[in-house]
Amino acid sequence: MHRNVTDYVYTFDFGDENIMRYSIKLDDETMRCLQPPPAELPEWTKLTSNQCENCPLDPEEHSHCPVAVNLVGVFEQFKNMTS
């Protein structure tokens, strides 16, 4: 079975010759992120850490928030940048 994938590439140009790129690959049918999660997930990604009020996920079935897990790479890449 052939999987259709959309690859979004975000380029951040900070104007001082510092350019960062971040790529996100999504399955076109399910819209699931295709990058494997890091081996170790930060504490803040746990579903019970700060679960959204309207989140339909059950912490008994989902140990970590899928959105937070998908953002770990972005946060790691930009952790030393001042917002």
Mean pLDDT of 4-10: 92
Q: Is the pLDDT of residue 83 over 80?
A: no
Model confidence, pTM:
0.74
Q: What are phi and psi of 4, to 5 degrees?
A: -85, 130
For the chain, the residue count is 83
Reported as a single tens digit per residue, the pLDDT across 20-61 is 888 889 999 888 888 888 889 999 999 999 899 999 999 999
Mean pLDDT of 11-26: 86
Q: Which two tokens stand for residue 45?
A: 């990604």
- pLDDT, position 1: 57
- pLDDT, position 75: 86
